[in-house]
Amino acid sequence: MTTLFSVILSAAQKHDICQAKKINSNIKNIDLASKYQVEKSTITDILKEKELQLKRKKALELWIDNAFNSSQDIDGHILKNKAKFFADHFLIDDFYYSDSWLTSFKKCHRLCQFKKESESASAPPIEQIENDQLAL
């Protein structure tokens, strides 16, 4: 009788599996499963999850491009909500849109937050305008 035991793969191991498949697409999932001592279905699930994460990331990047092109303001809160929306859309259960995720995402995509200065912020106070009009 064969005793089955549960192997919990680390994030680094999952990353290595995805990299191995990316480098050599001909490698069989069963070979990766044997190497990491897990079931073939575990490898399939890891690779499927990676594909979904990439789709979520691409969708979010496209949304950001569209928002910038239409002059919409984006802050961290909006970005987290959109990331969660796309994770839900692609049925990604273990996506954590934490502050560290946000910082990493913004750094990776060279996004920064700044306060917009509007023309009205540079306008003189109404009293000064009235005084200037009287002076004319």
Task: Say if CB 87 and CB 95 are below 8 A apart.
Answer: yes
When pLDDT is cut at 50, 70 and 90, the band that residue 39 belongs to is very high
Confirm whether 86 is domain-assigned: yes
Confirm whether 116 is domain-assigned: no
Q: What is the pLDDT of residue 17?
A: 92
Enclosing domain of residue 36: 11-111
Confirm whether 134 is domain-assigned: no
Confirm whether 121 is domain-assigned: no
| Per-residue pLDDT tens digits for 118-130 | 555 555 566 666 6
Confirm whether 127 is domain-assigned: no
Domain count, the chain: 1
| Per-residue pLDDT tens digits for 85-112 | 988 888 887 777 788 888 888 888 888 7
Give the amino acid at 101. W
Rounded to two decimals, the pTM is: 0.62
Task: Say if CB 35 and CB 4 are below 8 A apart.
Answer: no
Confirm whether 30 is domain-assigned: yes
Confirm whether 130 is domain-assigned: no
Confirm whether 19 is domain-assigned: yes
Q: Going by C-beta distance under 8 Å and a sequence separation of 6 or more, which residues neighbour residue 74?
A: 64, 67, 68, 111
